[in-house]
Amino acid sequence: MRPVLACKNPWRFVVAGLRTGLKRRRLRRASTTCETNLRKQALVCVTGLLIYGLTVGCWAGTPAGKCGATDVLSRSASAPRLHSYKGIRLVRVIQHGRPVEVKAKVYHRRPDKTRTEYVAPPCVAGTIILNVGRQRWQYSSKTQRWVRCFHQDEEDHLALARRNYRSEPAGEGIVAGRPASVFILVPTTPGNPGKTIWVDKKCDLVVRSEWHNSAGEVISWSRFTEIEFDPPNMPDELFQPPRLPAQTVETQLDRPCFKVIIPGYVPKGYVLSGTTVLQVGRERAVHLKYTNGINTISLFERVELKMPDTPPDAVKHPTGYPSPQVVNWRQNGVVFTLMGDVSHSELRKIADSARK
């Protein structure tokens, strides 16, 4: 028989095991917290895209006036340059497989200053997005801090919309107590979601939008419940960029701290339209936006070290994001979240191209 070796401290193995288990629980808890923060950011980003609709990044020179289907995209894109406004906007998206309504106060000063204050639901209430030209800031009510986001638009959405959609008149309606002309935007490529827009008759701003899947079902919508054009009482402080101290994390979001993966495949008609670097808790995340002029596909990337790689769809709770179609996976210490109103098979093709 082999002699039994006496251990000076037999409890050290138990303590080591407890420490290992505690470390794993902390990693899981940190991962869950970061995931929750990213879902909130995703909800803000996606609803922000729906709130702005055709009014951001489309600087067309067509004057407002006549109402026709052929130039409705140009006129609606030009409206923010010609008119200031303030109002309350509701946005409905899909989260956890159920519709979620987001309420926001929107202030716009022509030509390119927009402030969005989120009121509901509680998970995003208190968040403020300030766009001044091509610069963007975000305020978090949880941290009570402003963060300057690196934001870059790379494509003319109006040209893409004209290329991938055709507009057809569909009658008239009333939005926020104002008469509006209704137009249907029909995709030229099958499988892309369609869109119905309500354009204010006097000011040409898109005041209501509905997105439809290929079956014609409404999957999300955005509309003003109150709106006032060219209001005389919007203080300058609403659009004043925050003064952040130099050499802080909040002012250094000009680049991520990891290598960003660009998918090799996107559906026909889509291009990379912009990138935004976000602060998610203590980590940074990158938001890549692909658009065909009307619809948007979003890819979020963030660091999550010491977690195993997983294939697409293996990460739990994909329906916690504001989109009916979501694909998640981990690769080389980075978590990827891909979402958009396109078929799940198309999202899988994008994911597979990013994993090669």
Residue 5 falls within a domain, yes or no?
no
pLDDT given for residue 66 in this prediction: 42
- Is the peptide bond between 322 and the residue preceding it cis, with omega within 30 degrees of 0? no
Contact 241, 118 (CB under 8 A): no
259 and 221 share one domain: no
332 and 207 share one domain: no
Give the integer Cα–Cα distance in Å for 344 and 331.
Answer: 20
pLDDT given for residue 32 in this prediction: 53
226 and 341 share one domain: no
Residue 2 falls within a domain, yes or no?
no
Residue 243 falls within a domain, yes or no?
no
Among residues 207, 233, 259, the one where a domain terminates is 233
Counting DSSP H helices and E strands in the chain, the numbers are 4, 16
Over the stretch 20-73, which tens digit does the pLDDT of each residue have?
Answer: 555 555 545 545 555 565 566 566 665 665 665 544 333 333 333 344 455 788
| CATH number assigned to the domain comprising residue 142 | 2.50.20.10
Q: Is the pTM of this model over 0.85?
A: no
As for how many domains the chain has, the answer is: 2
158 and 260 share one domain: no
224 and 256 share one domain: no
Residue 244 falls within a domain, yes or no?
no
Give the integer Cα–Cα distance in Å for 65 and 179.
Answer: 14
| CATH number assigned to the domain comprising residue 262 | 3.30.200.100
Residues of the chain with confidence (pLDDT) below 50: 1-11, 13-15, 18, 27, 30, 54-68, 246-253, 315-320, 322
Please give the residue range of the domain that contains residue 68: 38-233
pLDDT given for residue 4 in this prediction: 42
pLDDT given for residue 124 in this prediction: 87
Contact 202, 181 (CB under 8 A): no
207 and 77 share one domain: yes
Among residues 206, 233, 260, the one where a domain terminates is 233
Angle at 94 between CA 93 and CA 96, to 5 degrees: 140
